[in-house]
Amino acid sequence: MPEPAKLDPSKAVSVEDRVGLDKFEFDEEPFITVDTAICRTCESKPCLYVCPAKVYRLEKGELVYNVEGCIEMGACAVVCKHLGKDAIRWSYPRGSHGVEFRFG
**Rounded-to-integer distance, Cα 7 and Cα 28, Å:** 31
Residue 43, CA distances (Å) to 8, 14, 26, 48, 95 in order: 40, 29, 31, 11, 35
Has residue 3 been placed in a domain?
no
CATH of the domain at 37: 3.30.70.20
Has residue 68 been placed in a domain?
yes
| Segments forming the whole domain that contains residue 49 | 15-100
Has residue 39 been placed in a domain?
yes
Contact status, residue 21 vs residue 5, Cβ threshold 8 Å: yes
DSSP letter, residue 6: -
Per residue in 27-84, pLDDT (tens digit) is 788 888 899 899 898 888 999 999 888 899 999 988 999 887 788 888 888 888 776 6
Has residue 6 been placed in a domain?
no
Q: Which is nearest to 68 in space by CA: 15, 96, 32, 104? A: 32
- How many independent structural domains does the chain possess? 1
